[in-house]
Structure 1
Amino acid sequence: MNLDLSNQPQIVQTVAGYALQGWEIAQGWLLSPAAWSQFGLLALAWLAAWVLTKRLRPLLEALLTPPADKHGLFATARRFLLVFVPLLLPLLAFLFTAVGEQFTRALFGSGAVIAFGKRVFLFIAARILVGEVITDGFLKVLGRVILLPVMALYALGLLDIVTARLNETTVALGNIEFTVMAVIRGLIAGSILFWLGRWSNDQTTGFIHKQAEMPPATRQLAIKAAELAIYGIAFLLLMNIVGIPLTSLAVIGGAVGVGIGFGLQQIASNYISGVILLLEGQVTVGDYVELDDGLAGTIVKTTARSMIMETFDGRWIVVPNEHFITTRVTNYSDQGSSNRLEFAFQVSYDTDINRVPDIITAAVSKHPKVLQSPEPPDCELRGFGESGVDFAVEFWVNGIDDGKHKYGSEVGFIVWNALKDAGIEIPYPHRVVELRQAPGA
């Protein structure tokens, strides 16, 4: 086959050259008895792997499937191995082909066809891995974009050629030059490292959250420290893989320092304030706080830069950590401590007010959320109003009177019903109007 491609672009000539080499190899295989014997061995290896997989797969699935209520380390390991069962067929075919390759090379002195078959079986295993085994969306995309093309080039025997060409091609960024292979290697390594970092961080966070004996503030601090360590190690590994010397980080650190000095003071202040808050433990997740400007809510999440506060009307508000350091903050929860509330009411002047304290304290004490410690409910005389005698009942609860804790409303019903049952009148507002007759009228 003689084609004149001298007038065609270089890439067309290169592709045509590879195609011609492939055609010559295929012709050699088709006309070679040794090649046909290797094709037969490949078919036999695939058939044997298919028969063995049909028998082994149900046994492996039964062995590796733990009971649904088991969640220990051994059960987790079994579930992890179970997802790789679909790879049994191509891996067995690869194993049988490797055995057949040794026999073929010893008999015919050649094993190019069977080596090609081994690479094809690995490509099939990669397709099954990406299509059936991997469930994480990011890893699945990474497998389709990177793993499958690489395995296809490897199966065709072109991986070394393509790698050498990528190593020869450079990309210039100003005075810095990178090979295309270095850029691709950095992208692949960076994607995998930071995915592993995210996964490791999630596992570490879950483990630390389960440590109930640790104070909440210590748990948050440990989570932030672990996150910083994991991503820091991933970044240093990536710099080493790409080939950027770590000494150059000193220049980057100087630039970051200048940036903080000019424009990132507030961000740096919030990060440092977050560390101080975690160390002191004065405000943590679950606390109900009120800021100096009157904004109040429950802390639902902490980040390195801010705290997320949920108000009782469902709004999530991001509050910079610095506000909890530089302004006055009222913490009503303080790691679950109790709070004192009160409910004011009036009784008629016709009432025997000596009976009121005992009636009200006995009734309020029956509320399931009202505490007897640090002090039981206490009913106090507050004064003599225009329409009646002023009383107030003080009581302690774990929480505040808002949102899901409607203590004031519930205690108000209790006071109303207790006074009604005792025959004590709750007065209406009274006004005395005096009419005077003008002199000489």
Structure 2
Amino acid sequence: MEFDLASQPEFVQQAVGYAQQAWDISKTWLLSPAAWSQFGLLLAAFLLAWFVNRQVQPVLSRLLTPAEDQTGILATIRRFIGGFLPLLLPLLAFVFTAIGEQIVRSIFESGAVIAFGKRVFLFLAVRAFARDMVRDPFLKLIARFFFVPVAGLYALGLLDLVIEKLRTTIVPLGNMSFDLLWMVQFIIIGGLIFWMGRWSNDQSSGYINAQDEMRPAQRQLAVKAAEIAIFGIAFLVLMNIMEINLASLAVLGGAVGVGLGFGLQKIAANFISGVILLLEGQATVGDYVELDDGQSGTIVKTTARAMFLETYDGKWIVVPNEDFITTRVTNYSDQGSSNRYEAPFSVSYDTDINEVPALVEAAVAKHPGVLDEPFPPDCELRGFGESGVDFAVEFWVNGIDDGPNKYTSDVLFLIWNALKAEGIEIPYPQRVVELKGMDKVPGT
């Protein structure tokens, strides 16, 4: 049964044609003395590169590896250069092969085999770069699935063919159309540009957050402004590189505007509310707030849409930014401001109550968290109860009385110990029960 190639699909015919070309080239190389000499030269170049690499790499590694405790600019440069050592072997083989190629071409006027060997060594260098040098997960993904395949196609001599195929494959999209090569370039270039944007944003955020002279709200606003500016510039750079006319996005911008006016109005309101909160500094990360519905927690994260509160039991509450503008919110901390608390207690009616305020104030003032400013501890008489005389001591602390800081509990312990040390009785409820008509009971 004969195989009719003409009746097969076009891609099968092309694949068979490429295979036939490869077979013809292989036969030429296997039967050509010039090809055998080039194979020998490739082997010699690789062995020489391996020998030189084995002798030189340990020396370079010692020179380029500073002590772990060294953090200066020179040590940083040495570590950076030392990171390229995995490329030494394939690059040496590439250089030695390039030198041998000039010799072979001068003798045989042919160097196809050795040129192929050069491309293979370059592919090995790219593969070593992607495998051993790239540490960032996103960059490693691009290196593994873009740069390494491109280097492989270049080594096989198929890169120009694949590029032309991608360029001629048009993808229609409504009134627009683009080729696959443009799409691949857009994905790769866009990914790299926005990775640079993310890295720049991380650096700027770290620098801004390290400015202790700025208020927390100002730091948050500066971080958000820098983030918007960086990614806005990244978007414009990408549009310019890909030669996309921004005027063509006018329709999309109009659609987004309509969406903001209807379905996205809540998102827009929350975004604007978040900007207002950052500008006014009403609430920021670290503040302990209580919402109008009674829920409370510490602000641990702010976004363009909402704030995240963490309660004492570890739960997170997502509160839209608009709620901080349109409802009543109590801010207890405002990033470390002083707060006043009071601890109520009672003493027996047998006590000389004139001695109690000074005794309690002195005891409470010993607590390391209790402040003298804006006011020292103040013990006040609050009333005469059923079982004893009611007092309350007011005290100021720098923070809030939450799970980690048990200010009120500690103060009550101090009051108890101080009163017990002076023999002052803390009353408990007592009741006198009078039974009437007991004389009418028989047998009494």
TM-score by length of 1: 0.93
Task: Check whether the contact 1:183–1:242 (CA below 8 A) recurs between aligned residues.
Answer: no
Q: Which residue does the alignment assign to 2:209?
A: 209
Task: Check whether the contact 1:348–1:427 (CA below 8 A) recurs between aligned residues.
Answer: yes
Q: Which residue does the alignment assign to 2:168?
A: 168
In 2, Cα distance between equivalents of 1:73 and 1:410: 50
> What code does the residue aligned with 2:230 have?
I
> What code does the residue aligned with 1:260 have?
L
Structure 1 residues 353, 276: closer, same or farther in 2, change over 3 A? Answer: same
Structure 2 residue 384 is the aligned partner of structure 1 residue 384: yes
Q: Which residue does the alignment assign to 1:92?
A: 92
In 1, Cα distance between equivalents of 2:40 and 2:215: 67
In 2, Cα distance between equivalents of 1:174 and 1:29: 50
Residue 435 of structure 1 deviates from its aligned partner by: 5.5
Q: Which residue does the alignment assign to 1:269?
A: 269
Counting only pairs closer than 5 Å after superposition, residues 35-50 of structure 1 correspond to structure 2 as 35-50=35-50
Counting only pairs closer than 5 Å after superposition, residues 345-356 of structure 1 correspond to structure 2 as 345-356=345-356
Residue 181 of structure 1 deviates from its aligned partner by: 1.3
Q: Which residue does the alignment assign to 1:16?
A: 16
1:399-441 deviation digits (Å, cap 9, x = unpaired): 1112101111111111111110110000111334456669x99
1:104-157 deviation digits (Å, cap 9, x = unpaired): 333433322222111101111122122222233333333332222211110011
In 2, Cα distance between equivalents of 1:122 and 1:391: 85
Q: Which residue does the alignment assign to 1:187?
A: 187
Q: Which residue does the alignment assign to 2:304?
A: 304
Which deviates the most, 77-86 or 113-122?
77-86
**SS of 1:395 mapped into structure 2:** strand
**SS of 2:7 mapped into structure 1:** coil
1:246-292 deviation digits (Å, cap 9, x = unpaired): 11122221111111011111101111111111122221111111112
Unaligned 5+ residue runs, structure 1? none
Which deviates the most, 45-54 or 186-195?
186-195
% identity of equivalent residues: 66
Q: Which residue does the alignment assign to 2:317?
A: 317
> What code does the residue aligned with 1:363 have?
A
> What code does the residue aligned with 1:168 have?
T
Q: Which residue does the alignment assign to 1:148?
A: 148
Q: Which residue does the alignment assign to 2:239?
A: 239
**SS of 1:354 mapped into structure 2:** helix
Which deviates the most, 387-396 or 234-243?
234-243
Q: Which residue does the alignment assign to 2:372?
A: 372
Structure 1 residues 212, 77: closer, same or farther in 2, change over 3 A? Answer: farther
In 2, Cα distance between equivalents of 1:392 and 1:124: 79
Structure 2 residue 157 is the aligned partner of structure 1 residue 157: yes
Q: Figure out how many residues of one structure are paired with residues of the other and give that number.
A: 440
Which deviates the most, 344-353 or 121-130?
121-130
In 1, Cα distance between equivalents of 2:93 and 2:393: 82
Counting only pairs closer than 5 Å after superposition, residues 63-78 of structure 1 correspond to structure 2 as 63-78=63-78
**SS of 2:94 mapped into structure 1:** helix
Q: Which residue does the alignment assign to 2:102?
A: 102
Unaligned 5+ residue runs, structure 2? none
Provide the aligned C-alpha RMSD in A: 2.3
TM-score by length of 2: 0.93
In 1, Cα distance between equivalents of 2:386 and 2:81: 80
Q: Which residue does the alignment assign to 2:396?
A: 396
1:162-210 deviation digits (Å, cap 9, x = unpaired): 1111111111122322112112222222332333332332233223222
**SS of 2:182 mapped into structure 1:** helix
Q: Which residue does the alignment assign to 1:223?
A: 223
> What code does the residue aligned with 2:204 have?
T
**SS of 2:6 mapped into structure 1:** coil
Residue 75 of structure 1 deviates from its aligned partner by: 3.5
**SS of 1:390 mapped into structure 2:** strand
